[in-house]
Amino acid sequence: MSDSPYRARRERVIEQMRKAGGGVAILPTAPEVPRNRDSDYPYRHDSYFYYLSGFTEPEAVVVLDSRTGHSILFCRAKNEEREIWDGYRFGPDAARETFGFDAAYPIDEIDTRLPQLLADAPALFYALGASAQQDRQVRHWLNAVRAQSRTGVSAPSAARDIRGILDEMRLIKDSTELDIMARAGKISADAHVRAMKASRVGLREYHLEAELLYEFRRNGSQFPAYGSIVATGANATVLHYRAGDAELRDGDLVLIDAACELDGYASDITRTFPANGKFTSAQRELYDIVLASQQAAIDATRAGARFDAPHEAAVRVLAQGMLDTGLLKRDTAGSLDDVIANKAYSRFYMHRTGHWIGMDVHDCGEYREDGPNGERPWRTLAANMVTTIEPGIYVRPGQDVDERYWNIGIRIEDDAVVTADGCTLLTRDVPVDADEIEALMRG
Ligand code: GLY
Ligand code: MN
Ligand code: MN
């Protein structure tokens, strides 16, 4: 599989390792995690490991050696007895062939083979401190090399965080990744359509969650990309609320922030709609402000702009809307510029407008870059970075807040691929316009 994107990525990492002085990289996948007796959490590979291997079995490690240019996989040996219970395992031979490694060995051999691979390597490239269990293993392998020092071998004298190289690579998505992310976005958008159509007063939040999960799964998604939020009424003002058992009531909104993971890639969508299919005038007022703020952020998203530009654009529209509706009072909050400078808007909009998204819903990658004079300005957006755009307004009851706005929570979130002159939204197969949402729910 020499045309495998995974192999090509491994070659790029090896190139970067050489530029940094060379050495050996160790990338273990995630451990299996018990949930309760005899029952594990659904297994999910480590994103860095998967990025370089395409391999989804637990108990596996990728090793890259920049001196030989070889990429090596350690994985579970074939085992007929275990395969009867737990299912197919590639085993080293088939895994090497299928995933394009130069060599593959049973994981049981790693304690003897890794010290040999590490001997005389100038540096160890590893995700330092990411896992206590893995740190212990690495220490064990390094000590095994040190124990042989009398034979003339030396252990790596430097340690570098492999994530420095991988995060930069992962930040710019290649065509394989963008294709999967577009499909994940479409499935998630279809799931939101399904939930909107299913919404009825008297149902409970978990009923709509079930509609979402059904749509994810029937389209081949392996997992939700994160814990699904289905929040009705005042619950929509709790940012990290999860789908619970609250009843959908007449006149309340439903905020759904839920999306699927497909083939290792996340999507992330939020829509807010009336439980009964018709926005009240107060809901509609705030909804249209959030929608306009999202459009302003979308318009500010393009290669060459700063990461913060969409956030600033959204905040400007939201702050103006807060003044226009009286959520913020001009006599105390001052002008639009005052509201922005003093962050007075943060009472009703307390999170940021976007984050990187990729294999992880909150994906890796620096948000700032090196500037002149030791400054760290916001990062410059480049083509094929993928970010969410997710402004909102959340109004808790308060003496100084018009009661008609109490307990309204609204967020609108889409996933955007940065392009040379703008961005491409991956998640617009579900409407955002309030009239279109009402039409969909009527139909
Ligand atoms: N659903 C997680 C987020 O929107 O950041
Ligand atoms: Mn998000
Ligand atoms: Mn979200």
Where in the chain are the domains? 5-170, 172-442
Question: Catalytic residue among 268, 308, 360, 415, which?
Answer: 268
pLDDT band at 187 (very low <50, low <70, confident <90, very high): very high
Average of pLDDT values for 112-134? Answer: 96
Phi first, then psi, for residue 156 (nearest 5°) are -55, 135
Q: Is the CB of 261 under 6 A from ligand 1?
A: no
**Is 240 among the residues known to form the active site?**
yes
Q: Is 168 marked active-site? A: no
Judge whether 45 counts as a catalytic residue.
no
pLDDT of 3 reads 63
Known catalytic membership, residue 250: no
* Catalytic-labelled residue, pool 46, 57, 65, 257: 257
Q: How far away, in angstroms, is 285 Cα from ligand 3 center?
A: 22
Find the 270 Cα to ligand 3 centroid distance in Å: 6
363: Cβ below 6 Å to ligand 1? no
Pocket test for ligand 1, best of 230, 241, 294, 361 (most atoms within 8 A of CB): 361
Write the residue with the smallest CA distance to atom 5 of ligand 1: 362
Residue 387 has pLDDT above 90, yes or no: yes
Which protein residue has the closest C-alpha to ligand 1 atom 4? 268
Does ligand 1 come within 6 angstroms of the Cβ of 241? no
Whether the CB of 177 sits within 6 Å of ligand 1: no
Query: Is any ligand 1 atom within 6 A of the Cβ of residue 414?
Result: no
**Distance (Å, rounded) from C-alpha 78 to C-alpha 94?**
10
Catalytic residue among 10, 192, 302, 411: 411
Q: What is the pLDDT of residue 304?
A: 98
The residue annotated as part of the active site, out of 38, 331, 370, 400, is: 38
Q: What is the DSSP letter of 234?
A: G
Ligand 1 and 357: CB distance under 6 A: no
pLDDT in tens, 208-248: 999 999 999 999 999 999 999 999 999 999 999 999 999 99
- For the chain, the distance separating the N- and C-terminal CA atoms, rounded to the nearest angstrom, is 48
Nearest atom of ligand 1 to the alpha carbon of 258: 1
419 Cα to the center of ligand 1, angstroms: 22
The yes or no reply on domain 5-170 and CATH 3.60.10.10 is no
131 HSE (CA, 13 A, CB side): 13
Ligand 1 atom nearest to CA at 229: 1
Catalytic residue status for 140: no
Q: Are 440 and 193 in contact (CB under 8 A)?
A: yes
pLDDT score, position 378: 98
Contacts 24+ apart (CB under 8 A), 151-155: 153/119, 153/120, 154/119, 154/120, 155/118, 155/119
The Å distance, Cα 230 to ligand 2 centre, comes to: 14
51-76 average pLDDT score? 98
Class of residue 31 by CB neighbours under 10 A (exposed 0-12, middle 13-18, buried 19+): middle
Q: Quick one: average pLDDT of 329-341? A: 97
Same fold, 5-170 and 172-442: no
Question: Relative to the CA of 259, which ligand 1 atom is closest?
Answer: 1
- Determine if the pTM surpasses 0.85: yes
388, 394, 427: residue to mutate for ligand 1 pocket, most atoms within 8 A of CB: 388
215 pocket-lining for ligand 1 (C-beta < 6 Å): no
| Rounded distance from Cα 297 to ligand 2 centre (Å) | 14
Task: Decide if 355 is catalytic.
Answer: yes
For domain 172-442, say whether CATH 3.90.230.10 is its number. yes
Centre a 10 Å sphere on the Cβ of residue 345 and count the other Cβ atoms it contains.
24
- Rounded distance, CA 257 to CA 182, Å? 18
Q: Residue 4: its pLDDT value, please?
A: 84
Local confidence band at 149 (pLDDT 50, 70, 90 cut-offs) = confident
How many contiguous H segments (helices) and E segments (strands) does the chain have?
14, 19
| Percent of the chain whose pLDDT exceeds 70 | 99
Q: Is 411 a catalytic residue?
A: yes
Atom 3 of ligand 1: nearest residue by CA position? 268
Whether the per-residue pLDDT at 351 is higher than 80: the answer is: yes
Q: Which of 33, 44, 68 is nearest to 262 (CA)?
A: 44
Does the CB atom of residue 257 touch ligand 1 within 6 A?
yes
Mode of pairing for the β-strands spanning 229-232 and 61-65: unpaired
Lookup: tokens for 367? 């948000």
